[in-house]
Amino acid sequence: MSADDYIARGILGLMWICIHVVDAYTGGQKVAPLCSECKRRSVKCDEKRPRCFNCENRRTACHYATSGPWLWASPSTSDEQEPPDHGTSDLESQHLSILATPKHQHQFHHPHEFNTQHLRLLLNWTTSTCHTISRTHADPPVWQHTVPERALSCPYLLHGIFAVSALHLALSTNCQGADKQSLIEAASHHQSCAIAMFTTADATPTAAAAAAAATEGGLDPSTRLESFALSALLIGAAFAFPLTVATQSQPAPNAVDELVEVFQLSRKMIKYLAPAMHGLRQSELSAFFLLDGVNGEANLSASARGAIEALTELVDTMYPVHVTNNDDDNHQRQQHRILIDTIACLVTLLGKLDGGGEMIASSFDWINEVPAGYVELLQAHDPLALVILAHFCVVLYWLRERWWVGAWSGRVLRGILEILDNDESGAWRGALDWVLDAVKV
């Protein structure tokens, strides 16, 4: 028997186990949100996009909460909120927006009836996707071996793997037409199952798990590795799903708002996992926490330093700090502090970029370290907050070869310019010169 035969048999055997495990856990459960109109009318919605069957018949506008099934974020951007309440069975109350597929599609069957698409997704994961989502040479073994092995006994993690693998295939250059649409629907379905099963499992721990979780902020130590891996996959999918919409002939929301939702998701996930971080650094996922040793601020280039100085000057001009104690001045000082602290985080990020640092982890560090008030300003389309976000687009542009980042830099920058064009002051224009020179919109 040749080496290829052994590999093929090994993959088939792994697929048999995977499908057997997921079939035992799914129980045929599905989660399906409604479009806003069907929800208002309390009628069944088929979730067809861009317009569902009911809205098509009524000739009414059809709107969904997001462009894809990847939002796990409260309408409020405040990071002072608790993570989603896993104690409720009502996923809508947890602000999950999930796109389900028709019941006959993508269902897991008994092992002897397994869908060949599952094999395709697993094969793509182990041979390609696991490498494309890795930051450094230390990551691939974890994504290729450790995570799939854990997924054998953790169905929600397996669904997460399938979802990201399907998105990777859907966004590849040679994927078109019906195959592309089928993969997007598969990703939607697996994402739905992953989130639903994760929240259900976390809401009903065993007595031993609940006791252990009490010491780690509510997170079961026995599944912290799986929880972290799924969180990383959900955040990656959050970046990828809007790109699948952008490649289709349907209107997309402003990319700024989509990116803010990704920020919210990432920050909530990190907050949820924070108590377990020490244990994760000592686990099989330790490779994910290796530092690059690059000093951000010390490596900032002259051009980037000039851009930072222009930003700081703009903030000082738009939000001058006064010594009085009236409410307006206090609010202005608060806004000034938020923006200056965000710029300080940006200095570290751009210095990492100029110094050849590892930019995937650095980008997520920036997303999670900027003040909570900055995310609120972004949601409100504050001009100065948007100008700072435009500088983050330089890093997104540098990461554009990553399939799950792709055209984000241009999409977000165009969205920022569209919003700022309505700002009559125009004070921000000069502060974007460095960005527009670096990012090819």
Predicted confidence (pLDDT) at residue 137 exceeds the cutoff of 50: yes
The lowest-confidence range among 70-79, 282-291, 332-341, 418-427 is 70-79
Burial of residue 361 (CB within 10 Å: 0-12, 13-18, 19+) is middle
Q: Show the tokens assigned to 47.
A: 């979730």
Residues 388/394/396/401 CA torsion (nearest 10 deg): 170
| Residues shown for the chain | 441
Please report, for the chain, the start and end positions of each structural domain, with discontinuous segments joined by +: 3-30+65-288, 297-438
The lowest-confidence range among 150-164, 199-213, 219-233, 249-263 is 199-213
Distance (Å, rounded) from C-alpha 188 to C-alpha 184?
A: 6
Q: Show the tokens assigned to 173.
A: 């250059």
Determine the 3-state secondary structure of 264 from DSSP.
helix
Predicted confidence (pLDDT) per residue in 310-328, tens digit: 999 999 988 887 656 666 6
Q: Over pLDDT 70: what percentage of the chain?
A: 70
Predicted confidence (pLDDT) per residue in 241-258, tens digit: 999 876 554 555 789 999
